[in-house]
Structure 1
Amino acid sequence: MPGLRRRLPPLTALVTFESAARLRSFTRAAAELGVTQAAVSRQVHLLETALGFPVFRRLHRRVELTENGRILANAASSALTLMADAIDEITDASAPDELVISASVGFSHFWLLPRISGFSREHPQFKLRIVAQDQLVDLGRGDADLTIRYGNGLWPDGRSILLFRDEVYPICSAEYLQAHGPIDTLDQLVRHPLIMHQSHDPVWTGWEAWLSAFGAAMPRRGAQMVCSSFTDSIYAALAGQGISLGWARLIPDLIAQRRLVRLTDHVARTSDGYHVVVPYRARPKASAELFLHWLSDRAAEAGSDPATSG
């Protein structure tokens, strides 16, 4: 009996065909495989040449499987899935389970990383990879096992579990307040340099929206310093550059340590909140399930009132 290598067409062409057949598109297959559409077309042509019959009908702006193509697509999908499952099983048995967690830079820096050593101590068998970025990762593409996001909880790529909502109030360093205080009213506050975080997220509360909530206006001179991230705005406040907006859930340690102090009695409570989002694509793996329980417990421990007086 001839060996498999002689009986099978080129495997690269077969894998490319499986993707194009499953997605019903050379363009989408190219995006999935990380190649050009022309490369997909060449591999499909190579496959058809090796087989001696067409596997696709080329129609106007779309393709469809021939009858032989449909039979081959079903077989290729089953065979490649079987191989992938076997590799997953072998990998799971021989390598540590890696849990990929995505979060914004601010949440990761100020809330998650100071606490996550507790999870590692409880579950040392898991390898953790933290992806800290303000752009949303695509859970549908498998870019992360879990992600923590701020918003209303409605995202198309996963189901969300509310961790907590937040409160926003002005903060500055203890040294700044000692040198320039007292700062107890909004009239006093707006005379000081304001530090602004320039966010493109419409649900994020900035100075203009925060002041407007209390009937006050942004000073005509605007913010004294504009930062590209929440993390930078907090470090600017720590450095004594002026007054920033503090999100109570993210800075409790800095408030408790008196490195930052809260100003005025004004506090804006957010209707949106921090959610952990689980992909729709599959049941969470064991490490993700354990992390969900751990994260929910830590969120519950934070209490129902994040505000801390200065």
Structure 2
Amino acid sequence: MAGLRRKLPPLTGMTVFEAAARLGSFTRAAAELGVTQAAVSRQIHLLEEAFGFPLFRRLHRRIELTEKGRLLSSATTSAFNLIADTVSDITKDEASDELAISATVAFSHFWLLPKISAFSRTYPQVKLRIITQDKSTDIESDDIDLAIRYGNGMWPDGQAEFLFDDEIFPVCSPEYLREIGEISTLAELVQYPLIANDTGDPTWTGWNEWLAAFSVQGPKRSTGLRCSFYTEAIYAALNGQGIALGWKRLVEDLLNQNRLVRLTDAAISTRNGYFVVLPRRQKKKEHAELLVRWLRTSSGAS
């Protein structure tokens, strides 16, 4: 052990070096560590004196790792991550089997929450924490055990397993359908308020794309309500404010309860699908596999 200690550089200096190399700045490293920039510079200088070679090139208003600095940075990051993961494993409350699940507002609200009680009844020992947000999350750094996402399955922060795809068709409330009467052709849809939701997600299907799939031109000027979120669009449809696009997996319960009705048999299949995404680096919790199997069974995935 004494021999190992002689080979290792001072850990204080290595902590400072890891932050400076990762952030590419002595100033940002000082802010993260809660010390002065001068203290960071001194620790790096001491390391370089001990090694006998520079770790950074000091350029005009920026720093740059030397080749040896890059090698040391890679090894330091890997070692610190291993230590952090091990400490997390050995200090966690062994009695807690809490699983943190990330999902979008719409998926959580319309699909997950109505069904998750069945999982809890089957596995009462597993505690669940549902993190609902539409902004992108990084499951490696946000302490998430698994995420349910819609897309093409290609995410750098996790390993994706396909759950199901979807189909999209127009829906409205039964009361609204009685008010407007049956729709005999898709071209008639544009005569009525089409409820839409704003999204920057290129994988999301809106009215123009849906209508174009059937060679129907969208309305030149929409008279329908525009919402910020898909959940708002569905609630607007429930309240008789027009016609929304129903994603079958999300509105299935509302259709079964006759709170929404489907206006036509016409539908388009989604280009992408829903996936459960597990972190790559973290050791998977035992009960995460239970939840993944339950999700696949509940979704009808093989």
TM-score normalized by the length of structure 2: 0.81
Cα deviation 1:253-290 (Å, max 9, x = unaligned): 10001000000221111131111112222342212222
**Alignment: residue pair count:** 287
Does structure 1 residue 26 correspond to structure 2 residue 27?
no
- What letter corresponds to residue 91 of structure 1 in structure 2? K
Bigger drift between 181-190 and 242-251 goes to 181-190
- What letter corresponds to residue 291 of structure 2 in structure 1? F
Please say if residues 26 and 41 of structure 1, whose CA atoms lie closer than 8 Å, have aligned partners that are also in contact. no
How far did residue 54 of structure 1 move? 6.1
How far did residue 246 of structure 1 move? 0.4
Q: Alignment identity in percent?
A: 43
Equivalence for 2:86: 85
Q: Secondary structure at the match of 1:251?
A: helix
Equivalence for 2:126: 126
Equivalence for 1:239: 239
Please say if residues 100 and 128 of structure 1, whose CA atoms lie closer than 8 Å, have aligned partners that are also in contact. yes
How far did residue 236 of structure 1 move? 0.4
Unaligned runs of 5+ in 2: 1-8
Does structure 1 residue 136 correspond to structure 2 residue 132?
no
Change (3 A) 1:222 1:27: farther
Bigger drift between 49-58 and 242-251 goes to 49-58
Equivalence for 1:116: 116
Equivalence for 2:65: 63
Equivalence for 1:194: 194
Q: Report the Cα distance in structure 1 between the residues aligned to 2:241 and 2:189, rounded to whole angstroms.
A: 14
Does structure 1 residue 45 correspond to structure 2 residue 41?
yes
Q: Report the Cα distance in structure 1 between the residues aligned to 2:77 and 2:203, rounded to whole angstroms.
A: 45
How far did residue 245 of structure 1 move? 0.4
Pairwise mapping of residues 80-229 of structure 1 onto structure 2 (< 5 A)? Answer: 81-82=82-83, 85-86=86-87, 88-93=89-94, 95-229=95-229
Cα deviation 1:89-124 (Å, max 9, x = unaligned): 13243x513311111111111001111122222333
Cα deviation 1:225-248 (Å, max 9, x = unaligned): 111111010000001100000000
Moved over 6 A (4+): 49-52, 72-77
How far did residue 41 of structure 1 move? 4.2
Unaligned runs of 5+ in 1: 1-7, 304-310
Q: Report the Cα distance in structure 1 between the residues aligned to 2:192 and 2:84, rounded to whole angstroms.
A: 64
Bigger drift between 95-104 and 76-85 goes to 76-85
Please say if residues 27 and 37 of structure 2, whose CA atoms lie closer than 8 Å, have aligned partners that are also in contact. no
Q: Report the Cα distance in structure 1 between the residues aligned to 2:256 and 2:116, rounded to whole angstroms.
A: 19
Pairwise mapping of residues 10-25 of structure 1 onto structure 2 (< 5 A)? Answer: 15-20=15-20, 23=22, 25=23
How far did residue 53 of structure 1 move? 4.2
CA RMSD across the alignment: 3.5
Change (3 A) 1:75 1:236: closer
